[in-house]
Amino acid sequence: MPRVNAVRSSTYRLVKLLCGGMMILAAPLLTPVPGPAGVFVFAGGMVLVLRNSPRARRRWGRLKRRWPRGGHFVDRMMRRRSALRRHARDRAAAVSQRIDSAKTERAN
């Protein structure tokens, strides 16, 4: 007999994946509604799909490598942890580069 937690986890993941897909498909139907409702529904659906589908994550990685500017923007808007870490690392590198360039200017 399978463990209850294992069955529940995969079932729960599938339900979340299907809900995410339905949200993505429902987003265009909300375009006539005033305001940005469709954008938020689409983003919520993307989050659910990307968190629950390894295949979707691999495909998203390929898309980000092909179009890095768009992928970076979407990751920032979705507040993904990897994007936040990358942003903090880039910011720290830029600050240290400014400090190094200021030191070399003073030395000359």
pLDDT tens-digit series, residues 27-81 = 999 888 888 888 889 888 988 998 888 899 899 889 888 888 777 777 766 666 7
How many H helices and E strands in the chain?
5, 0
pTM of the model: 0.61
- At residue 36, the pLDDT reads 86
Query: What residues have CB less than 8 Å from 40, skipping those under 6 apart?
Result: none
Q: How confident is the model at residue 24 (pLDDT cuts 50, 70, 90)?
A: very high
Residue 98 burial class via C-beta count within 10 angstroms: exposed 0-12, middle 13-18, buried 19 and up = exposed
- At residue 108, the pLDDT reads 62
Query: What residues have CB less than 8 Å from 76, skipping those under 6 apart?
Result: 83, 87
Q: Nearest 10 degrees: CA dihedral of 16, 21, 27, 28?
A: -170
